[in-house]
Amino acid sequence: MPSSLEAANVGKAVAARVGTNIREVRTKLGMTQAQLAAPEFSISYISAIERGKIRPSLKALSILARRLDVPLTFLLRFTCWCCRSEGCGLFPCRLGS
């Protein structure tokens, strides 16, 4: 069973990855943070998500995914730090022990 510190670190890593995924798609589409944000969100909220400082709700992620025209699952994808698999989803990863 993961410790609370391990769980917090995983949460931070996921938040950072979600933010990176959002920024990647937004910039490829040529959108500004303001265009992605309005009307439900502020620019500072989008910025904080992209910097991995906050974890948006699933409802917020759903809205952002729709605006970016990507599946919600795309925003949640990540590459496992220990096995380098695309979103292996195991905690702890089998190969990391």
- CA nearest to 87, candidates 1, 9, 21: 21
**Cβ atoms of 18 and 56 closer than 8 Å:** yes
Which tens digits make up the pLDDT trace of 30-70? 999 999 999 999 999 999 999 999 999 999 999 999 999 99
pTM here is: 0.74
Helix (H) / strand (E) containing 22:
helix 4-28
Q: Residue 11: which pLDDT band, with cuts at 50, 70 and 90?
A: confident
C-alpha separations of 17 from 21, 38, 39 in Å: 6, 22, 24
Q: Residue 7: which pLDDT band, with cuts at 50, 70 and 90?
A: low
Q: Does domain 4-96 have CATH number 1.10.260.40?
A: yes
Angle, nearest 10°, between helix axes 4-28 and 43-50?
120
Please compute the mean of the pLDDT values over residues 90-96 and round it to a whole number.
47
- Which residue ranges make up each domain of the chain? 4-96
